[in-house]
Amino acid sequence: MRSIEAIFGGVLALAVLGVALFAVMNTNFGRTDDPRSNASANTTYSGSDMTPTLTSISGQDLICECYDAAFQLAGKVDVVSPEYRTGFQQCRARGGVDGGDAWTAGWNARLSARPYEASCRAYKRRG
């Protein structure tokens, strides 16, 4: 009777170890979304990778770029997503408080009852 218990106990221990190894292998411990690595003013999205990447364009208004990027992303991901956090951090790093406020306003504009009335120009007039 003890040998059967030992066999089942060993199988259970191997199963728990397998689940733990799977969890460790699929966890990203390093931070890959450093907001300082990209100098941003234009946001691009490609297919399944929806992480906002801001690239510098001369003559572009950073406030409107942040607003528009958040407006576009709001329809695709949730507010607790890493894409939202990365975009916000990039805009905040480059534009200060105004850049972060523009990102938040663009996000909220998309989720409002009347997103067709929302634009960066209207946002700037309110401020």
Specify the pLDDT at position 85. Answer: 92
| Averaged pLDDT, 75-91 | 90
Specify the pLDDT at position 49. Answer: 53
Q: Looking at the structure, tell me whether residues 11 and 41 fall in a common domain.
A: no
Domain with 71, as residue range(s), is 35-126
Q: Looking at the structure, tell me whether residues 73 and 106 fall in a common domain.
A: yes
Q: Max CA-CA distance within the chain?
A: 80
Cα 58 to Cα 34, 39, 40, 102, 123, distances in angstroms: 22, 11, 10, 19, 22
Are the C-beta atoms of residues 93 and 66 closer than 8 Å to each other? no
Name the pTM for this structure. Answer: 0.54
In the chain, how many domains are there? 2
Stretch among 45-49, 69-73, 95-99, 123-127 having the lowest mean pLDDT: 45-49
Q: Is the pLDDT of residue 38 over 60?
A: no
Instruction: Report the percentage of the chain scoring pLDDT > 70.
Output: 72
Q: What is the mean pLDDT of the chain?
A: 77
Q: Looking at the structure, tell me whether residues 73 and 19 fall in a common domain.
A: no
Q: Looking at the structure, tell me whether residues 19 and 39 fall in a common domain.
A: no
Q: Looking at the structure, tell me whether residues 24 and 46 fall in a common domain.
A: no
Q: Looking at the structure, tell me whether residues 2 and 39 fall in a common domain.
A: no
